[in-house]
A and B are shown apart, each in its own frame.
Chain A
Amino acid sequence: MTPIVRFFIRACVTAACFAILPAMPGLAADLQPVSLDAEVQTLKGAVLDLNRELFMLEEELLYPANTQVAVFVSMDVGEFFALDSVQLRLDDKPVANYLYTEREVDALHRGGVQQLFLGNLKAGDHELVAIFTGIGPHGRDYRRGATLAFDKRIGAKYVELQISDKVSKQQPEFRVREWE
């Protein structure tokens, strides 16, 4: 091998090959000034605490516990229904109309619960109507409703809209459940 070939091979091995060799995780971080990195982490922790306080203050101010009502959406299996949207009416007034992204539906499938609506209601009798739209069995458009008449008392009220599978009928099932 001529000297120039050696030079080029060495150069290209250095530039192209070893450039892709990974450093061991944890060791490469030494290049970052430790104090600066530590300071960033400390700041992030402090902002997190502050953010939690602000979040709680916001909820307490806007949705006091006595009048608070929250509606959640959950999914159990959900093989017979691909969720597109949910419309929510409270006492015949539309309060939420939500279109789901693929990522959100995936989060629901994995056991996540979405807070669809958070608002305030006076104590007394109320009616909630949820309309689910999506693709049902055999790839057909599917639209179903679920209703709940409930008595709102002093204190927060939580309602869960649950989408599940009714295996015996090979159909989705939509249930509304009150939580204390």
Chain B
Amino acid sequence: MANGAWLAVAWLLTFAGPATAGERGGAIRDLHYGEVLFHFYQQDEFTALTHLLAARQAGRVTRHAVDAELLLGGLYLSYGQTDQATAIFDRLLAESADPAVHDRAWHFIGKARYQRGLFAEADAAFERVGTQLTAALRDEHEMLRAQSLMAQGRFDDAAARLETVRSDGGWLAYVRFNLGVALVRLARDAEGTAQLDRVGRLRSDDAELLALRDKANLALGFAYLHAQDGERAREVLERIRLNGPHANKALLGVGWADVLQADYRQALTPWLALSNRDPLDSAVQESLLAIPYAFGRIGADGSAAEHYVGAMVSFDRELAGLDAAVVRARTGRIVPALLADDDRTIGRWHWQLDHLPESDDARYLYRLVADHTFQDGLRSYRDLVALREHLTDWRDKLAVFENMVDTRSLAHAERLPRIERRFGGIDPAELRSRRDDFALTLDMIEAERNVVGLADKTEAEQWSRLAALESSPAWQAPQAAAARDRQRVLKGVLWWRLDADYRYRLWQARRNLAELDRGLAATAELSASARLARADRPVELETEQMRIAALQPRIEAMQARIDAVLQRQETHLQAMIADELEAQKRRLASYRIQARFALATIYDRTAVAAAGAAADGEGATP
């Protein structure tokens, strides 16, 4: 049976992978790549993957091409799309000569094979990894290698490998724990308990590692119990926190450790404390039988009988509760109830059910939710529900988009005549020609140093008027001498002013020409864009309408497929729940039989003792 410890390792495996492919290693050169990382680092992998695929298609991650591919492969791997992931890493191996890229690609290929259960093949890929992995990825690499070796039964190789690892990551404790329990299962107690003992003594403030430490001590304690070493069992079981998730089993074990040392009275202390806890916990149920057993051993048959009767009442009550829960499980009410408090955030595919909802049924499922197979199934169920709801959101949005595009089509049709009128009056070629005339004139002015050519409107008028006087018939008359002098002075003053400002005016004229060029360019761009918009917009709108029309049935078809698979997944989970409840019923029934049998034995013993006492009494009577 799998358990939470494996789940924790699995989380580390799946999450650590892609992170290292995109971890900060310098400045971001594509904003959209950074934006993908922003979602990824928040464990919103679905959004990260969607945005990365979109950015890649739009050519927005070209400056991070290799990193983006590695990240994409890692995300695909986490999302269970092993084929796509492997294809990406194969391509990277073929196209890149960078040893760091090769190392990462081989690592991820190994991980993909590992996830498929191809452990020997995974090892072969891991062997190709060199020295260029980042520290975080190196941790994951070592963990996967050790897990892969264990999966092949190569425990000695796994243990040797772990000894060479230098890491302060919590994963090492998880792997060591897995190795320890695997060795114990193979009856290699000395090696197994050595590994477990190292985990059982670890120091940490981390809640998960503390829970793992408890779990290691629990496994270690029961391994010693199995070997009938009560003293050492008690010692390690007492390391377990009394408020932790493994406290009940620890209390039970401590009692049995005392029994192994024939100290039945001492065994009653932890067991009586345990019997007041949740009656559905298997350790508590076992304590209900263990207590009267201990009373019996110390000769307190009355108390023993009383506790056996109490245990049977408790078992009967729980059996009735289990019967009702089995009915609810088979009618499909438990699975949706398990997810009643879920936030349904899409994309967190390392999700697992951490807290059971407050309900009668949930009390029976503590063991089951610790099973990773059930958690995997529940995660898939939850993913499907979330995907269905996500698609429902899209379906609603598509209806809005459809309206929007229709409205834009109408608006475009209404605006088109106005646009035509506005842009119809503009002739870019004519504007260009006028600009060229102006530039030519300016060149001539500069070539001839024609200072009058740069006169403003008033000055030009003044110059014309002064010049016009010279063509008057009376201009050469003697009487006009004073006027001629005056005109000459005025003309000279004007020319002098124009000449003095000539360089400035020329610079200004050139600047105006440059501005004109920019304006003309902008007009041309705008005009071209408007012309294109006029021509292309109807096509674009039609394309958008067609895209929307094509997507709508795809969403509906996808939702139908999801519904069908969801139904099968729910049935599968219901069966697992019902099996678990039936197993609990069988265990309780077995306990009940044991209680009845023990009670009958006590009654027999009491009756025999009473009969013996009576016989002795009769014998003594004269």
Contact = CB atoms under 8 A, between A and B. Distances in A.
Nearest to A101: B42
Interface in A123-159: 123, 154, 158
Given A23-B6, A27-B117, A28-B2, A51 B81 contact: no
Interface in A43-91: 43-48, 50-61, 66, 70, 72, 74, 76
B47 to A, nearest CB: 9
Contacts of A51: 46, 50, 390, 394
Interface string B385-422: 00100110010011001001100000000000000000
Contacts of B558: 43, 46-47, 50
Contacts of B185: 18, 21
Contacts of B405: 61
A104 B43 CA distance: 11
Given A23-B6, A57-B548, A158 B387 contact: no
Nearest to B144: A25
A158 B29 CA distance: 13
Nearest to B41: A107
A72 B81 contact: no
Contacts, number: 251
Which among A39, A70, A112 has the greatest number of chain B C-beta atoms within 10 A? Answer: A112
Interface residues of A, number: 71
Contacts of A40: 80, 380, 383-384, 565, 569
A12 B256 contact: yes
A107 B42 contact: yes
A17 B377 contact: no
Contact of A41 (B80, B117, B215, B252): B80
How large, as a class, is the contact surface on chain B?
Answer: 35 or more
A107 B80 CA distance: 24
Given A43-B561, A47-B558, A112-B40, A20 B34 contact: no
A108 B38 contact: yes
A114 interface: yes
B151 A27 contact: yes
A168 interface: no
A13 B226 contact: yes
Interface string A15-40: 11111111111111101110011011
A93 interface: no
B290 to A, nearest CB: 6
B31 interface: yes
B377 A48 contact: no
B244 to A, nearest CB: 13
Interface of A: 1, 4-5, 7-9, 11-13, 15-29, 31-33, 36-37, 39-41, 43-48, 50-61, 66, 70, 72, 74, 76, 103-104, 106-108, 110-115, 123, 154, 158, 160, 179
